[in-house]
Amino acid sequence: MCAKSLLLVFGIILGLSHLSLSQNWETFQRKHITNKTNINCNKVMYDKLFFIGNQCKILNTFIYSTADTVQDICSGLRSSTSFELTDCFRTSNNSPPCPYRSYSEDNVISVRCERTLPIHFVRKGRC
């Protein structure tokens, strides 16, 4: 097989693998937006099934807000306002159910958008 054909096949496989890792607006909301001000990380991380294979997810950030307010970030409304956030982070490598601790703070957020909808939580803090 020539080098160009091999690169084409590799590019297609890489592109398809990216699709399997992407998420949509509904998934983003389920994973990151909450109206609860007091999260029990052990419960919510298990209830929402945050697993990658047979391993518990290391970290997840929850945003206390409405979906509309978070969606406005993708509409060109660069909000400098902070969101109330809670990080749930895994404290050991146990198999599910895994122990988690929480850390709460107010901070700005960055998200990746598609068609004016947030689909991926990028980071806390300013870019």
Catalytic residues, by residue number, are 32, 120
User: Cα–Cα distance between 69 and 77 in angstroms, integer?
Assistant: 10
User: Cα–Cα distance between 127 and 115 in angstroms, integer?
Assistant: 21
